[in-house]
Amino acid sequence: MPIMIDNSLPAVEVLRKENIFVMDNNRAVHQDIRPLNVLILNLMPTKEVTETQLLRLLSNTPLQINVDLLHMVSHKSKNTKEKHLHSFYKTFEEVQDMFYDGFIVTGAPVETLPFEKVDYWEEISQVFRWAKKHVFSTLHLCWGAQAGLYHKYGIEKYHLGEKLSGIYLQTVVDPTSPLMRGFDDQFFAPHSRYTGNDLAEIRSKSCLQVLASGEEVGVSILASRDLREIYSFGHLEYDRDTLAREYERDIRAGKNPRQPWSYFPENNEQERPVLKWNLAAATFFSNWINYAVYQETPYDWSTFEDSAASASL
In the three-class reduction of DSSP (H, G, I as helix; E, B as strand; rest coil), residue 278 is classed as: helix
Burial of 254 by CB count in 10 Å (0-12 exposed, 13-18 middle, 19+ buried)?
Answer: exposed
Whether 125 and 218 have beta carbons less than 8 Å apart is answered as: no
207 is catalytic: no
Alpha-carbon gap, residue 218 to 182, rounded angstroms? 22
- 3-state per-residue secondary structure call for 36-70: EEEEEECCCCCHHHHHHHHHHHCCCCCCCEEEEEE
How far apart are the C-alpha atoms of 156 and 161, rounded to whole Å?
A: 16
List the Cα angle 40/23/17 in 5-degree steps: 90
Q: What are phi and psi of 133, to 5 degrees?
A: -110, -5
Q: Which of 48, 71, 134, 142 is catalytic?
A: 142
User: Which of 48, 51, 111, 237 is an active site residue?
Assistant: 237
CB 145 within 8 A of CB 236: no
Q: Does 159 participate in catalysis according to the annotation?
A: no
Q: Using only the alpha carbons of the chain, give its radius of gyration.
A: 19
The H or E element containing residue 132 is helix 121-134
Give the active site residue among 71, 134, 140, 235. Answer: 235
- For the chain, report the end-to-end CA distance as a whole number of angstroms: 39
- Angle, helices 278-287 vs 47-57, to 10°: value is 70
Cα angle 35-280-206, degrees, rounded to a multiple of 5: 80
At 11, phi and psi to the nearest 5? -60, -25
What residues does 36 pair with on adjacent strands?
A: 65
- Structural contact between residues 55 and 11, judged by C-beta atoms closer than 8 angstroms: yes
237 is a catalytic site residue: yes
- Indicate which residues carry an active-site annotation: 142, 235, 237
